[in-house]
Structure 1
Amino acid sequence: MTVKRGDNAVHNGPGPRRVAMPGADPPANPDDAASQTSHRPTSRRRVVQISCFSLMFTSANWRAAPFGTRAEWFGNVRGDLLSGLVVALALIPEAIAFSIIAGVDPQVGLYASFSIAVLISIFGGRPGMISAATAATAVLMVTLVRDHGLQYLFAATILAGIIQVAAGFLRLGDLMRFVSRSVMTGFVNALAILIFLAQLPELIGVPSMTYVLLAGALAIIYLLPRVTTAVPSPLVAIVAITAVALAFGIDVRTVGDMGQLPSSLPTFFLPDVPLSFETLRIIAPYSIGIAMVGLLESLMTAQVVDDLTDTGSDKNRECVGQGIANFVTGFFGGMAGCAMIGQSGINIRSGGRGRLSCFFAGVMLLFLIVGLSDWVAVIPMPALVAVMIMVSIGTFDWGSIRSLVTHPRRSSVVMLAVVIIVVWTHNLALGVFAGVLLSGLFFASKIAQIFAVTSRREGDTRTYTVEGQVFFASAGKFVDSFDTREPVAHVVIDVTRAHIWDLTGVGALDKVALRFRKAGVETEVVGLNEASRTIVDKLSIRNRADALELSSGH
């Protein structure tokens, strides 16, 4: 059988997607940069160092500004400082609550939130995003703490950081492009619902004045921006409600009721665990889970902040930044954490945009719990609950409800599946993985339908023209489109308008060609583009002498 190469070779392989970071030039292609550098007159050792550096730090921006650009730090000083203060106040009760979830002392979550926020502001890839101790990672530590103790939690946090750094160096952040818009919408809506549900314990079985203070705080948050935006309305609400509660002696739950605040600075120490393979066997499963869930939530949150601010971010740098933050935190008595969509929403809606907002939030958090713990302890919980309710309402994509009717049914199914799974299981990773799987299946099914085989006969020659994608989902339809029993002398299979993607597609082409050969019909394939020809030449068996015998197992 003769195979001819068509003139319409398709060259796949566009350059990497370039994302502009706020206040910086767009990153250059790392491969191009490394190539250009390697041609400069310098020593071989210098070339190797530059090449390794290019592989490790995954964007030109990072190589040019390893700790962020000046614009990322000081382009919005006033807004970042004010929003950072709001975030610091809102972090305190959440960090305490997440510590309780993990079964550890509140200072573990508070120290972690301080450390992670400061470090991610320096090394992270998404300015303006807040990272700290979270419920998503806390729930993964419960069994470890219960069965092996607190020191093993610190060791697991350190190992999780190493895994995340490795993920960044391997450029796993690029996998975010496989997450569809429907999955993102479901993720955001599910988190908004979870944030709201997390506030219900503070609203059930509480004094009636709780609802009065809550209503007052919500009124300030939503009405003050109509008068002035000079000061973030959530900060004004917290200060005003605290002042009212103290002035009138209103008896409601306060931050102090959540747990004891630490009175000293965190100190460096090595986890008190044996340095053995047994320890590694114990902590490795927890560390892998923490690393995966932490990166997933961080990358998804980074995408949300990208959309809110209409700017880009470096997902691979974010992976490394999260890893560095967790690695260091484990040595300072903190638990693992990741990005927080709720706190990030507070930061963005309070005017925060740069790295300074997250850095200041971490520093102020430590200052508040150590230096002003007596004042922080009297902040009424209704004020902080109001802030979180604002975040949940603002985070939820209300337009997605209307889209259930107007958007394609499959997109709506994916979005609803993610919401239901996440809310039902409180497992973000499970919901997102299910959404990505559904999106992939629906996409494959849809692409398989955009496929057609037409034919025409001229004398003793039948020409089949194939249009569409030939892969595992369309292979059966491809094979069934050929009449291998027709009495013709010559068959031409024209794949000029088709693309063969995988082993199943190659197998389908082989099956058709071998059926014609078995019937004594000369078969010719024309129009293979470059990519299709490469995979066909590598995997096809139809030109082998024993092809008919092998075809039954192809």
Structure 2
Amino acid sequence: MISLSDYRQQWFGNIRGDLLAGLVVALALIPEAIAFSIIAGVDPKVGLYASFSIAVLIAFTGGRPGMISAATAATAVLMVTLVRDYGLEYLLAATVLAGLLQIGAGLLRLGQFMRYVSKSVMTGFVNALAILIFMAQLPELNPSTEGVTWLTYALVAAGLAIIYLFPRLTTAVPSPLVTIIVLTTLVVVMGWEVRTVGDMGALPDTLPVFLIPQIPLTLETLLIIFPYSAAVAVVGLLESLMTQNIVDDLTDTKSNRDQECIGQGIANTATGFIGGMAGCAMIGQSIINVKSGGRGRLSAFTAGTVLLILIVGLGDLVARIPMPALVAIMIMVSIGTFSWSSIKALRVHPRSSSIVMIATVVTVVYTHNLAIGVLVGVLLSGIFFAGKISQLFRISSTLSADGRERTYVLEGQLFYGSTEDFAEAIDFREAPDRVVIDVSRAHIWDISSVQALDMVILKLRREGADVEVVGMNKASETLVDKLAIHDKPGAMDTLMEH
């Protein structure tokens, strides 16, 4: 549990940096929230209200200060079918349920499972996200899109120049904010015709209000929304925890995974009651926030509050922000997010690590689903790891001088990946009076290894040998005592049934 003084420091330890960074993030959230609403098939206000609500609430309840959460594409794409088949009210109900599931995950401390996601998967996740962020900007650079002209490319180039060159003059003001101000002023003063935020969709002009989703409270309704809620909860937590790890690395600080799960759940549950869609952490906006100087909870709170003020009170002004300015910022985020060192590392890293990283990138980019990509990466990591561990398994044997006793010495890890080597190393045709299986240098891990041990013992006994297992450590002994059946009647028949 965080102390009150530390919590206060997370709020007020970086006031100026957090306020400025939050302002930049708020501006960048607007077009994305509108775009994600369109993806889900709902009005822009659903995504905008969600981004306001989630950003503000996560500032109070989250476990990672400085991380930005809002409506995201990762959760929006999961809701498309639900909205199409059942409508907005079911989307809101699913959002509430997804939040409750996330709270449950936090209370059960499921966030700790992130430690099993390898560095290669993390790198692949980051690189894929960078590519997706860049790809999301392509429609605004497509000549066939209405309003995209040579002036669009010129303004994007100018925006990138400001972003990368302005910090050489001063870092007192975030360069993305300067980019928005300068390009908006130029477009307004010169009267240039370019796409603006207003072209993305109508902005809401009223504050969100509390509402209860109008759905039948029946088991049938639960069965309809539960699969969507479960998917949103899992994908949302996965992206949030991955982003949390990245922000931890960027800021050289540690944060609370389980609290982040609970915070995401509270934010989503509350958002469903004000007409907003589910969301999660946003790696792009989080990196914008960190690179703009945001470090504390105040940055997320500022982003959400300023977003609401902008869309409700200053909607006409915000609508005039040119899209090239925001495209330039997102390209900067894409470039900054991509791990360029990982390309050079392909030559020196183990082949298995490179395969995992590339597979994660390809799967995410192909499916546009971060969860599937990460799942593929984690599965491949597990397979390669099991393969490496199985290669460390060794077995040797010696025969006594009188030829009556054979001793097998096992070294390494005996598990499902090494049981075949174990079985093949035993000479069942030989018929000594006694066989000793020495596992003092080995560890027995799972039911597969216990069954392999059962089978070896029973086959040797069938050949007339007296078998003894020696040197078993406490953990292995506990597992074998619980699962082994070689001393039970009908053991061979039982094993052969499997």
Q: Is this a same-fold pair by TM over 0.5? A: yes
Give 1:236's aligned residue: 178
Match of 1:135 among 60, 73, 85: 73
2:72/2:279 contact within 8 Å kept: yes
Question: Residues of 2 paired with 1:413 and 1:189: CA distance?
Answer: 14
Report the TM-score, using the length of structure 2 for normalisation: 0.96
Tell me how far 1:147 sits from its aligned partner: 1.6
1:500 aligns with 2:438: no
2:40/2:80 contact within 8 Å kept: yes
Q: Structure 1: which amino acid aligns with 2:351?
A: R
Tell me how far 1:274 sits from its aligned partner: 1.9
1:336 aligns with 2:278: yes
2:30/2:307 contact within 8 Å kept: yes
Spell out the pairing of 1:484-495 with structure 2 (5 A cutoff): 484-495=428-439
Question: Residues of 1 paired with 2:438 and 2:169: CA distance?
Answer: 69
1:446 aligns with 2:392: no
Match of 2:294 among 352, 355, 360: 352
Secondary structure of the residue that 2:295 maps to in structure 1?
A: coil
Give 2:103's aligned residue: 165
1:416 aligns with 2:354: no
1:192 aligns with 2:134: no
Deviations 1:456-515 (A, max 9, x none): 223232221110111111101001111233242222211111000011101111122222
**Cα distance, 1:99–1:551 mapped onto 2, change above 3 Å:** closer
Give 2:251's aligned residue: 309
Question: Residues of 1 paired with 2:495 and 2:129: CA distance?
Answer: 51
1:81 aligns with 2:81: no
Secondary structure of the residue that 1:69 maps to in structure 2?
A: helix
1:542 aligns with 2:486: yes
Secondary structure of the residue that 1:544 maps to in structure 2?
A: coil
1:524 aligns with 2:468: yes
Deviations 1:356-400 (A, max 9, x none): 111110011011111111211111110110000000000000011
Bigger shift: residues 523-532 or 385-394? 523-532
Give 1:56's aligned residue: none
1:218 aligns with 2:160: yes
**Cα distance, 1:383–1:362 mapped onto 2, change above 3 Å:** same
Give 2:188's aligned residue: 246
Give 1:9's aligned residue: none
Give 1:435's aligned residue: 377
Q: Structure 2: which amino acid aligns with 1:379?
A: I
Q: Structure 1: which amino acid aligns with 2:468?
A: E
2:33/2:72 contact within 8 Å kept: yes
Give 1:96's aligned residue: 34
Give 1:69's aligned residue: 7
1:68/1:123 contact within 8 Å kept: no
Give 2:82's aligned residue: 144
Give 1:386's aligned residue: 328
Tell me how far 1:425 sits from its aligned partner: 1.1
Bigger shift: residues 145-154 or 480-489? 480-489
1:121 aligns with 2:59: yes
Deviations 1:245-269 (A, max 9, x none): 1121111111111111111111111
Spell out the pairing of 1:281-296 with structure 2 (5 A cutoff): 281-296=223-238
Question: Residues of 2 paired with 1:99 and 1:545: CA distance?
Answer: 64
Question: Residues of 1 paired with 2:188 and 2:486: CA distance?
Answer: 85
Tell me how far 1:551 sits from its aligned partner: 4.0
Question: Residues of 2 paired with 1:339 and 1:381: CA distance?
Answer: 23
Question: Residues of 2 paired with 1:227 and 1:498: CA distance?
Answer: 62
Report the TM-score, using the length of structure 1 for normalisation: 0.87
Count of residue correspondences: 492
Deviations 1:421-468 (A, max 9, x none): 111111111111111111111111111111100122232322211101
Question: Residues of 2 paired with 1:92 and 1:551: CA distance?
Answer: 62
Give 2:423's aligned residue: 479
Give 2:117's aligned residue: 179
Structure 2: tracts of 5 or more residues without a match: none
Question: Residues of 1 paired with 2:226 and 2:299: CA distance?
Answer: 33
1:68/1:122 contact within 8 Å kept: no
Tell me how far 1:68 sits from its aligned partner: 6.8
Secondary structure of the residue that 1:465 maps to in structure 2?
A: strand
Bigger shift: residues 460-469 or 410-419? 460-469
Match of 2:214 among 272, 275, 289: 272
**Cα distance, 1:548–1:288 mapped onto 2, change above 3 Å:** closer
Question: Residues of 1 paired with 2:431 and 2:308: CA distance?
Answer: 84
Structure 1: tracts of 5 or more residues without a match: 1-59
1:509 aligns with 2:453: yes
Question: Residues of 1 paired with 2:227 and 2:162: CA distance?
Answer: 46
Question: Residues of 1 paired with 2:427 and 2:44: CA distance?
Answer: 73
Question: Residues of 2 paired with 1:95 and 1:132: CA distance?
Answer: 8
Secondary structure of the residue that 1:528 maps to in structure 2?
A: coil
Question: Residues of 1 paired with 2:400 and 2:77: CA distance?
Answer: 69
Give 1:34's aligned residue: none
**Cα distance, 1:102–1:464 mapped onto 2, change above 3 Å:** same
Q: Structure 1: which amino acid aligns with 2:433?
A: A
Tell me how far 1:278 sits from its aligned partner: 2.4
1:462/1:491 contact within 8 Å kept: yes
2:431/2:464 contact within 8 Å kept: no
1:299 aligns with 2:262: no
Tell me how far 1:548 sits from its aligned partner: 4.0
Question: Residues of 2 paired with 1:278 and 1:548: CA distance?
Answer: 48
Secondary structure of the residue that 2:346 maps to in structure 1?
A: helix
**Cα distance, 1:451–1:273 mapped onto 2, change above 3 Å:** same
Secondary structure of the residue that 2:78 maps to in structure 1?
A: coil
Question: Residues of 2 paired with 1:420 and 1:258: CA distance?
Answer: 29
Question: Residues of 2 paired with 1:370 and 1:511: CA distance?
Answer: 72
Question: Residues of 2 paired with 1:336 and 1:236: CA distance?
Answer: 31
Question: Residues of 2 paired with 1:79 and 1:532: CA distance?
Answer: 54
Question: Residues of 1 paired with 2:125 and 2:23: CA distance?
Answer: 27
Question: Residues of 2 paired with 1:199 and 1:448: CA distance?
Answer: 46
Q: Structure 2: which amino acid aligns with 1:140?
A: L
Give 1:37's aligned residue: none
Tell me how far 1:545 sits from its aligned partner: 4.0
Question: Residues of 1 paired with 2:193 and 2:313: CA distance?
Answer: 25
